[in-house]
């Protein structure tokens, strides 16, 4: 059942967010890392009528070029509405990266192992933020923050481009999700 729920997490049907009275504030980790962070877009992921998570894409003042995900800092925030095992989230992420044909087999295996070590089990209300920092000391990194606490990072632009492509690539398995998250980017071009 947990694997099925994880599949829903990444491959379910999407319903755009409705009824937002006010634009939410970025999480503190995003505010401190992205000067003048702004919301690009948000959406709810649903599978068979069940809420899986709500997602927000935060971009900095330079915005985001979806064709070059590794060029600018940005963050993807997921607030879960379901319990999922961290290992299942990592495995499904690696599977979707492979479907997109990104990274070598050796890279994908290393990324999967690192994600399995980092990703926590989540419950309703938990928040996981993936924050891409291209100019981090020591090189580009994707930092993960769980419920406001840094839990680790994975280095490299290749990882960031592959991981965030799950949501932001034109070949994403969820084109409506991509469109909703990139709505602000498209409007600002």
| CATH number reported for the structural domain that contains residue 116 in this entry | 3.50.70.10
- Average pLDDT value over all residues in the chain: 86
Range of the domain at 134: 2-14+26-187
Q: Give pLDDT tens digits for 65-91.
A: 988 888 999 999 999 999 999 999 999
Of 51 and 147, which is predicted with more confidence? 147
Residue 20 falls inside a structural domain: no
Q: What is the number of structural domains in the chain? A: 1
* pLDDT range class, residue 173, cuts 50, 70, 90: confident
Element (H, E) at 132: strand 127-133
Closest by CA to 111, choosing from 167, 170, 153, is 153
Question: Are the CB atoms for 123 and 103 separated by under 8 Å?
Answer: no
Residue 100 lies in a domain: yes
Indicate whether 19 belongs to any domain: no
Residues contacting 58, CB < 8 A, separation 6+: 26, 30, 34, 37, 38, 39, 40, 74, 75, 76, 77
99-120 confidence digits (pLDDT tens)? 999 999 999 999 999 999 999 9
In a domain, 87, yes or no: yes
Q: 47 phi and psi, to 5 degrees?
A: -135, 120
């Amino acid at each position: 059942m947990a694997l099925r729920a994880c599949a829903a997490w990444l491959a379910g049907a999407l319903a755009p967010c409705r009824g937002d009275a006010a634009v939410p504030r970025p999480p503190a980790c995003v505010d401190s890392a992205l000067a003048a962070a702004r919301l690009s877009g948000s959406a709810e992921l649903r599978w068979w009528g069940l809420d899986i998570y709500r997602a927000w894409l935060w971009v900095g003042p330079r915005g985001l070029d979806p064709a070059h995900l590794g060029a600018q800092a940005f963050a993807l925030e997921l607030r879960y509405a379901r319990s999922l095992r961290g290992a299942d989230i990592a495995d499904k992420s690696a599977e979707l990266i492979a479907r997109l044909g990104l990274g070598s087999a050796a890279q994908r295996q290393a990324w999967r192992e690192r994600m399995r070590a980092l990703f926590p089990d989540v419950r309703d209300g938990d928040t996981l933020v993936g924050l891409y920092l291209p100019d981090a000391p020591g090189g580009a990194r994707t930092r993960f923050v769980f419920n406001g606490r840094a839990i680790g990072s994975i280095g490299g632009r290749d990882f960031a481009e592959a991981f965030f492509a799950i949501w932001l690539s034109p070949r994403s398995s969820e084109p409506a999700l991509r469109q909703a998250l990139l709505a602000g980017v498209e409007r600002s071009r």
